[in-house]
Amino acid sequence: MSSAQYKLLRCTINGKKVEKMIDVRASLTDLLRDDFRLTSVKKGCEVGECGACNVIVDGECFNSCIYLAVWAEGKEILTLEGLAGPNGEISDIQQAFIDEAAVQCGFCTPGFIMSATEMLQSGKEYSDEEIRKLMSGHLCRCTGYENIFRAVKKTMLRRLGKEAEADAV
Amino acid sequence: MYVGKKVTRVDAYDKVIGRTRYTDDLCDKSAYIARILHSTVANGRVVSIDVSEAEKIPGVVKVFTCFDVKEKHYFPTAGHPWSTDESHQDVADRLVLTERVRFYGDDIAAVVAEDEVSAAQALRAIKVEYEEYPFVLDVMESMKDGAPQIHEEYPNNILKHTTIQKGNYEEAIKEPGLIKVEGWYSTPTVQHCHIENFICYAEMEGDRIKVVTSTQIPHIVRRVVGQALGVDWGKIRVIKPYIGGGFGNKQDVLYEPLCAWLSMQLGGHLVKLDVPREETFVSTRVRHAIKSHIISWVRPDGTFAARKLEAFSDQGAYASHGHSIVAKGAGAFPQLYPCENVEVDAYTIFTNKSVAGAMRGYGIPQAMWAVECHTEEVAARLGMDPIEFRRKNLMPVGYTDPFSKNELYTDTFNQCIEKGMEEIDYKRKYAEYQNQTGDIRRGIGMAVFWYNTAVWPISLETSSCRMVLNQDGSLQVQLGETEIGQGADTAYTQMTADVLGVPLEYVHVVSCQDTDVTPFGTGAYASRQTYTAGFAIRQTAMLLKERILEYAHELTRMPAYNLDIIDGKIVRVTDGRELMTLGELSTEALYSLNHSLHLSAESTSQIKSNAYSFGCTFAEVEVDIPMCQVKLLDIVNVHDAGTIINPALAEAQVHGGMSMGIGFGLSEKLMYDEKTGRALNNNLLDYKLSTFMDHPRLRAYFVENPEPTSAFGTKALGEPPTCSIAPAIRNAVYQATGVGVNDAPVNPHNLFRQMKEEGMI
Amino acid sequence: MYDMKALYEAESVEHAVALLVEHPEAQIIAGGSDVLVQMREGKRAGKELVSIYMLDEMRGVSYEADGAIRIGSLTSFSHITKDPIIQEHINVLGEAVDMVGGPQIRNIGTIGGNTCNGVTSADSASTLHAWDAIVEITGPDGVRRIPIHDFYIKAGVVDLRPGELQTAIIIPKEAYEGYKGHYIKYAMRNAMDIATTGCSVNVKLSADKKTMEDVRIAYGVAGPVPMRAPSAEAKAKGKPTTKAAIREFAKAVLEDINPRDSWRAAKDFRQHIAVVLAERALTESIRLAGGEINE
C-chain residues within 8 Å CB-CB of A46?
40
Q: Does C153 touch chain B (CB under 8 A)?
A: no
Confidence at residue A1, expressed as pLDDT on a 0 to 100 scale? 40
User: For chain B, what is the radius of gyration of the CA atoms?
Assistant: 27
Confidence at residue B592, expressed as pLDDT on a 0 to 100 scale? 97
pLDDT in tens, B512-533: 999 999 999 999 999 999 999 9
Q: Which contacts qualify for B124-127: CB closer than 8 Å, 24 or more apart?
A: B124/C42, B124/C45, B125/B53, B125/B54, B125/B57, B126/B37, B126/B49, B126/B50, B126/B51, B126/B53, B126/B54, B126/B63, B127/B49, B127/B50, B127/B53
The range of the structural domain enclosing residue A163 comes to 92-167
Closest listed residue to residue B371, CA positions, set B335, B408, B403? B335
Is 3.30.390.50 the CATH classification of the domain at C180-288?
yes
Q: Does A152 touch chain B (CB under 8 A)?
A: no
**A143 to chain B: closest CA residue:** B656
Provide the number of CB pairs (under 8 Å) joining chain A to chain B: 178
Domain end marker among A24, A59, A82: A82
CA dist C138 → B199, C16, C153, C166, C168 (Å): 46, 10, 18, 6, 9
Under DSSP, the state recorded for B270 is -
Under 8 Å between Cβ of A90 and C132: no
Average of per-residue pLDDT across C249-274: 97
Under 8 Å between Cβ of A51 and A65: no
In this structure, which CATH number among 3.30.365.10, 2.60.40.420, 3.20.20.10, 3.90.420.10 belongs to the domain B462-606? 3.30.365.10
Element counts in chain A: helices (H) and strands (E): 6, 5
pLDDT in tens, C90-99: 999 999 999 9
Q: Which of C189, C194, C265 minimises the CB distance to B691?
A: C189
Closest listed residue to residue B64, CA positions, set B132, B130, B119? B119
Q: Does A153 touch chain B (CB under 8 A)?
A: no
Query: Is residue A77 a part of any domain in this protein?
Result: yes
Q: In what helix (H) or strand (E) does residue B47 lie, and over which residues does it extend?
A: strand B44-50
Q: B692-712: buried (b, 16+ CB within 10 Å) or exposed (e) per residue?
A: bbbbbbbbbbbbbbebebbbb
The CATH topology of domain C4-51 is 3.30.43
Confidence at residue A42, expressed as pLDDT on a 0 to 100 scale? 98
Bridge partners (DSSP) listed for residue A55: A62
In the complex, which subunits touch C with 3 or more CB pairs below 8 angstroms?
Answer: A, B
**A64 to chain C: closest CA residue:** C104
Asked if the model's pLDDT at residue A2 lies above 60, the reply is no
Q: Which of C7, C103, C190 minimises the CB distance to A70?
A: C7
The alpha-carbon gap from C118 to the nearest alpha carbon of chain A, in Å, equals 19
Q: Which of C7, C102, C103 minimises the CB distance to A5?
A: C7
Parse chain B into domains and list their residue ranges: 12-133+198-274, 137-197+285-394, 398-453+612-761, 462-606
Give the pLDDT band of residue A85 (cuts 50, 70, 90).
confident
Query: Is residue A68 a part of any domain in this protein?
Result: yes
> What's the CA gap between B545 and B548, in Å, rounded?
5
One DSSP character per residue, C273-285 reads: HHHHHHHHHHHHH
**C29 to chain A: closest CA residue:** A68
* CA-CA-CA-CA torsion sign (B708, B713, B719, B725): positive
Q: Does A45 touch chain B (CB under 8 A)?
A: yes
Residue C239 Cα to chain centre, angstroms: 27
The CATH topology of domain B12-133+198-274 is Aldehyde Oxidoreductase; domain 3 (3.90.1170)
Provide the number of CB pairs (under 8 Å) joining chain A to chain C: 87
Residue A19: which CATH number? 3.10.20.30
Angle between helices B725-737 and B364-382 (to 10 degrees): 30
The CATH number of B398-453+612-761 is 3.30.365.10
Q: In what helix (H) or strand (E) does residue B753 lie, and over which residues does it extend?
A: helix B748-757
Residue A89, judged by CB atoms within 10 A of its CB (0-12, 13-18, 19+), counts as exposed
In the complex, which subunits touch B with 3 or more CB pairs below 8 angstroms?
Answer: A, C
The domain total for chain A is 2
- CB-based contact C263 B667, cutoff 8 Å: no
- CB-based contact B653 A104, cutoff 8 Å: yes
Query: Is residue A87 a part of any domain in this protein?
Result: no
Residue A116: which CATH number? 1.10.150.120
Say how many Å lie between the first and final Cα of chain A, rounded: 53
Under DSSP, the state recorded for C207 is T
Parallel, antiparallel or unpaired: strands B60-65 and B107-113:
antiparallel
The alpha-carbon gap from A86 to the nearest alpha carbon of chain C, in Å, equals 28
A 56-75: CB under 8 A from B: none
Name the E strands within chain A: 6-13, 16-23, 54-57, 60-63, 76-78
Under 8 Å between Cβ of B266 and B679: no
The alpha-carbon gap from A24 to the nearest alpha carbon of chain C, in Å, equals 7
> What's the CA gap between B610 and B504, in Å, rounded?
29
Domain end marker among A48, A82, A116: A82
Q: Given this structure, which CATH class describes domain B137-197+285-394?
A: alpha beta
pLDDT in tens, C53-70: 999 999 999 999 999 999
Q: How many residues does chain A have?
A: 169
* Substitution target from A25, A41, A70, A129 for chain C, most C beta carbons within 10 A: A25
Say how many Å lie between the first and final Cα of chain B, rounded: 60
B-chain residues within 8 Å CB-CB of C189?
667, 688, 690-691, 693-694
Q: Which of C3, C191, C192 minimises the CB distance to B121?
A: C3
| Secondary structure string (H, E, C) spanning B508-531 | EECCCEECCCCCCECCCCCCCHHH
Q: Which of A5, A51, A62 minimises the CB distance to C108?
A: A62
- CB-based contact C193 B685, cutoff 8 Å: yes
A-chain residues within 8 Å CB-CB of C192?
49, 136-137, 139
Percent of chain B with pLDDT over 70: 100
- CB-based contact C36 A49, cutoff 8 Å: no
Instruction: Enumerate residues 6+ apart whose C-beta is below 8 A from B87.
Output: none
- Order across the sheet with B462-469: list the strands: B507-509, B475-479, B462-469, B600-606
A-chain residues within 8 Å CB-CB of B656?
104, 141-144
Asked if the model's pLDDT at residue A3 lies above 80, the reply is no
CA atoms lying within 13 Å on the CB side of residue B161: 9
Decide: helix, strand or coil at residue B405: coil
Same domain, A97 and A156: yes
Name the E strands within B557-706: 563-566, 569-572, 577-581, 600-606, 612-624, 629-640, 698-702
A-chain residues within 8 Å CB-CB of C75?
none
Identical fold, B12-133+198-274 and B462-606? no
Q: Which contacts qualify for B18-22: CB closer than 8 Å, 24 or more apart?
A: B18/A38, B18/A39, B18/A40, B18/A79, B18/A80, B18/A81, B18/A110, B20/A106, B20/B242, B21/A39, B21/B241, B21/B242, B22/A39, B22/A42, B22/A107, B22/B196, B22/B214, B22/B241, B22/B242, B22/B243, B22/B244
A 118-137: CB under 8 A from B: 129, 132-133, 135-136
Under 8 Å between Cβ of B617 and B447: yes
Q: B230-259: buried (b, 16+ CB within 10 Å) or exposed (e) per residue?
A: ebeeebbbbbbbbbbbbbbbbbbbbbbbbb
Confidence at residue A40, expressed as pLDDT on a 0 to 100 scale? 98
Decide: helix, strand or coil at residue C212: strand
A-chain residues within 8 Å CB-CB of C46?
2
Q: Does C36 touch chain B (CB under 8 A)?
A: no
* Substitution target from A23, A40, A104 for chain B, most B beta carbons within 10 A: A104
The alpha-carbon gap from C9 to the nearest alpha carbon of chain A, in Å, equals 9
Q: How many residues does chain B have?
A: 761
A-chain residues within 8 Å CB-CB of B653?
104
> What's the CA gap between C89 and C78, in Å, rounded?
17
> What's the CA gap between C131 and C171, in Å, rounded?
7
**C46 to chain A: closest CA residue:** A2
Closest listed residue to residue C28, CA positions, set C133, C220, C154, C167? C167
Name the E strands within B393-496: 440-452, 462-469, 475-479
> What's the CA gap between B155 and B177, in Å, rounded?
41
User: Which residues of chain B are modeled with pLDDT < 50?
Assistant: none
Confidence at residue C295, expressed as pLDDT on a 0 to 100 scale? 86
pLDDT in tens, A6-49: 999 999 999 999 999 999 999 999 999 999 999 999 999 999 99
Same domain, A99 and A146: yes
Residue B720, amino acid? P
Q: Which of A47, A105, A145 minimises the CB distance to B485?
A: A105
User: For chain C, what is the radius of gyration of the CA atoms?
Assistant: 19
Under DSSP, the state recorded for C265 is B
> What's the CA gap between B699 and B655, in Å, rounded?
7
Query: Is residue A1 a part of any domain in this protein?
Result: no
Parse chain C into domains and list their residue ranges: 4-51, 180-288
Under 8 Å between Cβ of B466 and B478: yes
Instruction: Enumerate residues 6+ apart whose C-beta is below 8 A from C213.
Output: C204, C205, C206, C237, C238
- CB-based contact B667 C189, cutoff 8 Å: yes
